[in-house]
Amino acid sequence: MTKLNQIIAVEKGIKSRSFQELTDAHQAVQKPSLLSGIARTYQPKDEEGEQLPPESTRVQIRSDEVLRDIAVSLTRLFDVTASKDATNCVARADVKLDGEVLLADVPVTHLLFLEKQLTDLHTFVKKLPVLDAAEAWGFNESADCYSTEPVRTIRTRKVPRNHVKAEATEKHPAQVEVYYEDVAVGYWTTVKFSGALPAKRVSELLGRVEKLQQAVKFAREEANNASVVDRKVGDKIFGYLFA
């Protein structure tokens, strides 16, 4: 008994071959010279006249034959595709995680949809922002995000000071040098907030996605192992079309 995965394996090749044969046939029947033929003989006016050989051109393409060939080619494609689509309606499998059924009796077409969506989700989760490892973070309930412990820093201001290098005398004024001194004028208390996630959490989410991806893939393989529901539609279709 043919399996769905076998039908899927050959469908692409049959579709490609049928399309090429249809294209070749279409191009061939568009060339009038291939569909035309002629036969003519020459008879001189009298016995002394010049004798010329007969001329003939054979018809190389016959439309009826082209239609028959196309019908044969496309019948195979129509039958295979109809069988695949009919089997897709009944091919189902359970998605299991750790031996437990997460999703029961899922159609194979939906399993294919899930595979595509999970691939996109994997890309999304992999790129989630991660908390800066250089900081110590904790979840802040009031802010509903992560935050650091308060860090207190001093705010300073430069205040000019005078340094007397030489005292004044009767003949010379004092030599004074101005310099600036940092003087504490207040304190900053800083708390950092972040909407990112801990690296461990992102890794956990990524693991869950990958685990489900594998489960869906196993389920799809199981569903594709269903026996094919054989459908023969090509003869009926082309029996009507080209009758």
For residue 164, is pLDDT > 90?
A: no
The alpha carbon dihedral of 9, 12, 13, 14 has a sign of: positive
Q: How far apart are CA 228 and CA 223, in angstroms?
A: 11
Co-location of 239 and 181 in the same domain: no
**Which pLDDT score, from 0 to 100, does residue 200 have?**
96
The pLDDT of residue 111 is 96
Tell me, yes or no, whether 85 and 164 share the same domain.
no
> Is the predicted pLDDT of residue 242 greater than 80, yes or no?
yes
62 domain-assigned: yes
Mean pLDDT of 2-8: 90
User: For residue 130, what are the β-bridge partners?
Assistant: 197
- Whether 51 has a pLDDT exceeding 80, the answer reads yes
**What's the length of the chain?**
243
- Spatial distance between the Cα atoms of 110 and 232, rounded to a whole number of angstroms: 25
Percent over 90 (pLDDT), the chain: 77
In this structure, is residue 27 part of a structural domain?
yes
Residue 241 belongs to a domain: yes
pLDDT at 1: 77
Residue 216: HSE in the Cβ half-sphere, 13 Å Cα cutoff: 19
For the chain, the domain total comes to 2
Mean pLDDT of 12-36: 92
User: What is the per-residue pLDDT across 188-220, written as a single tens digit (0 to 9) for each?
Assistant: 999 999 999 999 999 999 999 999 999 999 999
Question: Does some domain include residue 108?
Answer: no
CB atoms within 10 A of CB 217: 15
Per the CB < 8 A criterion, the answer to whether 194 and 148 are in contact is no
Residue 235 domain flag: yes
Same domain, 39 and 85: yes
Whole-number Å distance between alpha carbons of 94 and 219: 6
Residue 216 in any domain: the answer is no
Q: Each residue of 65-94: pLDDT tens digit?
A: 999 999 999 999 999 999 999 999 999 999
Per-residue pLDDT at 66 = 93
DSSP secondary structure code for residue 97 in this structure: E
The whole-number pLDDT of residue 175 equals 81
**CA 35 – CA 60 distance, rounded (Å):** 6
The pLDDT score that the predictor gives to residue 222 is 94
Same-domain status, 14 and 85:
yes
The answer to whether residue 26 is domain-embedded is yes
85 shares its domain with 25? yes
Same domain, 239 and 157: no
Range of the domain at 171: 150-190
Q: Can you give the pLDDT at residue 49?
A: 84
- Segment 95-152, tens digit of pLDDT: 999 999 999 999 999 999 999 999 999 999 999 999 999 999 999 999 999 999 999 9
pLDDT confidence of residue 179: 84
The rounded percent of the chain whose pLDDT value lies above 70 is 100
Instruction: Output the pTM of the full model.
Output: 0.72
- Give the DSSP H or E segment for 146: strand 145-147
Residue 64 sits in the same domain as residue 3: yes
| DSSP annotation string for 21-48 | HHHHHHHHHT-HHHH--EEE----SSTT
Q: What is the pLDDT of residue 171?
A: 76
**Residues near 77 by beta carbon (within 8 Å), at least 6 away in sequence:** 14, 15, 18, 234
Q: Is residue 137 part of a domain?
A: no
Confidence of residue 187 (pLDDT cuts 50, 70, 90): very high
Residues 13, 79: one domain? yes
Half-sphere exposure of 99 (CA within 13 A, CB side): 0
> Could you give the CA distance from residue 149 to residue 136 in angstroms, rounded to a whole number?
8
Mean pLDDT in the chain?
92
Q: Are residues 1 and 66 in the same domain?
A: yes
Instruction: Residue 150: name the closest of 190, 205, 93, 103 by CA.
Output: 190
